[in-house]
Chain A
Amino acid sequence: MLQITHLRKSYGGHLVLQVPSLFLSEGIHWFKGANGSGKTTFFRTLAGMLPFEGEIKMYEWDIRKHPIEYRLHINYGEAEPDYPEFLTANDLIQFVAQAKRATSNQVQELIQILGITPFLYQPTGTYSSGMLKKTSLVLAFLGQPKVIILDEPLITIDDATVQQVYELVRDYHTRGVTFLLSSHQDFRFDALPIKQLFEVKDKMITEISPSAG
């Protein structure tokens, strides 16, 4: 489903991550790793937000040869989202929803589920970190993605929202959406049917057995 070959990611000549070969089948995958280990870089690269060496394909869509189809089907939720402070959540959602071809029903549903109605029309500069996180989660679920990448999706949000995120992930998963999740805390994804567990360490990604996590 997601095939990564000879991936090398450097910043200014400084190698930060290399993945000789990695195949991710459909399901929910958990990536663990210390802060700064390269999880976010890996996720952003997969999301088409960073340049890299190598090849990445989702089904038949190559990230370079089919930039539109690829990006239409892969969404990304930031670990620590930061938006222009004059934009409202509504501005961002409408913009991304249009690009990702989301229906207005889906938009309204996600706004309701993640509880952002009270601050929908406030500039994001007035938001707490939890409100920013909820906004980024709405953006990550918009459209008809085949892969959703959620970087530390449970940090800064309250317990009730954590349960809503679990429900959303389960719901989208039953509809065939693959998830790539990250958390450096072991207990966070126990409630989800994790298919593969990976560790990002020493610039490499290695699969470890779920029991080892």
Chain B
Amino acid sequence: MVSVLNILRKTLVVEYYRLNTGFLFLVLMFAFGILRPEDHIALSAYVFTSPFLLVLVFVFFALYHLKTVFFIRQRLLWDSHHFLYHLILIPKWQRWAALLYVQAMLWLPVVLYAGFVGYYGWKMGQQNAVIATFCYLLLVPLTGVAAYEYRLSHPNPDTKLSLLSGYLNRRFTKSYWSYFLLYLFKDNPVLLFLTKGFTCFVILGVCKIYPTDSYDERLLSLGALTIGLVHSVLLLHLYEFEHLQLPLLRNLPLTLLQRAIQYFLLFALLLLPETLFLVRYLPKDVSWLYGIQHWGFMMGLLWLIFGRFLQRHYIMDTLLRQAFYAFFSGFFLVMFRVPTGILTVITLLLGLWLFQRFYYQSEYIVHEEGLKIRPEA
């Protein structure tokens, strides 16, 4: 049994955390970087007293759970991981225990966070809500075990093209600006929904906290900074998607202006949920002009991050370090009262400059092993 757990830990658990270090770090950065501890406690008290908000938090946890389940199920489709189907040969209870171990390890960040806020919830007398939360935390991993068990007993799933897809493919031609969004919906839905869920939660959080204390607009700017940086992972996917799956883009006779318009449209669509939340929840004493600057700052950050990807090939590890530096640079600029309008203009101009300077210079660096000359077969 120990050897089985060892294999699962190395092939699934460690791999998951290795590939999601950037994502988890960015979440952690927001959770314990921007909000003060008392804000966390205030937020948790608010959530534990409201069944609606508690369910909303459960939905977020469920999205994270889905992300982990999708990850494992995808790995089980890989040829390199087909040996894991031998798990079906070990006794049922041992197999379930091993799968539960995997799911529990992936579920750990949620358990730790829930433990932290649950402790304060319990102290504040919200025992029922805390107990409900922990029952939920215990039950959800079981659905992951069921999903893996199903995959192990139903390998090589067949995919069929629905009649509706066939009709839509004949009726409509997809536009270039929609390619990346379709890619996210098709190949990375959990990353998309988790990112969007988190960023909308940030907007909602800063807009709700803003009137409760003597905050100024810097709180909203820090929210915009976080939202922009959280999009780094999505933009890394955009960079990789275009280089690996659409290299023909750079052979097309499109002007940089035409390309920039497509990216602007794509970024505006990516920011649509945050835009809607901002319009809905912008505090009354914050001017619309500031709201526009806030949106512009997020847009500028997207351009700046994408421009940096074009300037230099990043992998997740370097992205993590850069996001860390960028966050603290932005944090100090905001805290030292650099106006959001100025930050918007600087990030937009810098991003656009990087775009026009490095668009054709950008290339996806393959591993050096791939450069060696292979003998003829």
Contacts and interface: CB of A to CB of B under 8 A. Distances in A.
Contact of B250 (A36, A49, A83, A95): A49
B123 to A, nearest CB: 50
B360 A51 contact: yes
A36 B222 CA distance: 48
Interface string A29-41: 0000011110000
A184 B376 CA distance: 9
B252 A34 contact: no
Given A36-B374, A90-B169, A96 B252 contact: yes
A75 B368 CA distance: 28
Interface residues of B, number: 39
B362 A71 contact: no
B374 A34 contact: yes
B241 interface: yes
Contacts of B173: 90-91, 94-95
B247 interface: yes
A4 B210 CA distance: 61
Contact of B169 (A36, A49, A121): A121
B134 interface: no
Interface residues of A, number: 46
A64 B377 CA distance: 38
A1 to B, nearest CB: 18
A99 B169 CA distance: 20
A82 B243 CA distance: 11
Interface string B343-377: 00000000000000000111101101001111111
B17 to A, nearest CB: 27
Given A85-B186, A90-B173, A94-B173, A99 B376 contact: no
A208 interface: no
Contacts of A72: 253
Given A35-B374, A139-B248, 18 more contacts: A34-B373, A47-B251, A48-B251, A64-B360, A69-B253, A70-B253, A75-B251, A76-B251, A84-B179, A84-B245, A86-B182, A87-B174, A87-B179, A91-B169, A99-B252, A99-B253, A100-B252, A122-B161
Interface of A: 11-12, 14, 16, 34-37, 44, 47-51, 64, 67-72, 74-76, 78, 82-88, 90-91, 94-96, 99-101, 121-123, 126, 139, 184
